[in-house]
């Protein structure tokens, strides 16, 4: 198995980091679309449209076409939302990783390399709402290199960095559709703290929730 090297971000990593982040986020479009379809308001709208058109047209063709167009529109809406999130993330910190993470106290950005290729990323910085914790952010690993323990190594890197700087815990936020990430964090010892709906109106309508996880480093030390 190829060796994994974790190191601090360098300017030459910029393009690879943005590609890994963008690809990782875009992977969740299908699962987010399915999440929307499972919500009662969505099913109610589709059923009402189908029944209304079926009654008025007395034909299956028109309601089926209308529902198909609504589904296509819903999927495009999901793509639009994810693209907006990617653009906002690039603008917020990934366009200036050095200024956001490397030049600020108790913050850092790492990349994982396999055979001199950047295949994974992770970052951390002080959590705005909980000063005693560092927040794990932007973790993603190329699909082609998953199953090698890279994500676990990145998590341990953040935990070690957090412990060395005297913080009590690591916190992170993930979405309800990122089930693989949830399994990883729970396997690494993170505990689910709460679930909450994203404040945007559209998110409330489709019940799109975020999950907060916390890794208590004192518990980890005792278990070790």
Q: Would you give per-residue pLDDT tens digits along the chain (224 residues)?
A: 679 999 999 999 999 999 999 999 999 999 999 988 988 888 999 999 999 998 998 888 999 999 999 999 999 988 998 899 899 999 999 999 999 999 999 999 999 999 999 999 999 999 988 888 999 999 999 999 999 999 999 999 999 999 999 999 999 999 999 999 999 999 999 999 999 887 766 666 666 789 999 999 987 644 44
3-state secondary structure of 96: helix
Sheet strands side by side (includes 191-197) = 4-8, 108-114, 117-126, 133-141, 169-175, 209-216, 191-197
d(CA 201, CA 206): 9
d(CA 18, CA 91): 11
- Are 124 and 137 in contact, with CB atoms under 8 Å apart? yes
| Residue 85 CA, distance from chain mean position | 10
State the residue range of the domain holding 27: 1-223
Cβ within 8 Å of residue 118, ≥6 positions away: 13, 16, 17, 20, 111, 112
Tell me the whole-structure pTM to 2 decimals: 0.87
Q: How many domains does the chain have?
A: 1
Inter-CA distances, 146 with 35, 68, 71, 221, Å: 24, 35, 31, 27
- Dihedral sign for Cα 157, 176, 91, 145, please: positive
Task: Please report, for the domain that includes residue 130, its CATH number.
Answer: 3.40.630.30
pLDDT on residue 224:
44
């Amino acid at each position: 198995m190829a060796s994994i090297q974790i190191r601090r971000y360098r300017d030459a990593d910029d393009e690879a980091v943005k590609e890994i982040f963008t690809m990782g986020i875009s992977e969740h479009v299908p699962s987010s679309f399915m999440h929307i379809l499972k919500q009662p308001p969505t099913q109610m709208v589709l059923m009402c449209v189908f029944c209304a058109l079926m009654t008025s047209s007395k034909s299956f063709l028109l309601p089926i076409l209308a529902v198909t167009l609504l589904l296509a529109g819903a999927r495009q809406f999901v793509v639009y939302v994810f693209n907006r999130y990617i653009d906002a993330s690039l603008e917020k910190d990934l366009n200036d990783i050095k200024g956001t993470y490397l030049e600020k106290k108790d913050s850092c950005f790492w990349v994982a390399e396999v055979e001199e290729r950047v295949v994974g990323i992770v970052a951390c910085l002080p959590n705005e709402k909980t000063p005693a914790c560092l927040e794990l952010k932007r973790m993603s690993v190329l699909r082609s290199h998953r199953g090698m323990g890279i994500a676990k190594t990145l998590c341990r890197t953040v935990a070690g960095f957090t412990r060395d700087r005297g913080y009590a815990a690591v916190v992170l936020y993930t979405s309800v559709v990122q089930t693989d990430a949830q399994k990883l964090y729970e396997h690494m010892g993170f505990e689910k703290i709460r679930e909450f709906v994203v404040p945007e109106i559209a998110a409330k309508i489709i019940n799109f929730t975020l999950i907060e996880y916390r890794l208590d480093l004192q518990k980890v030390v005792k278990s070790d």
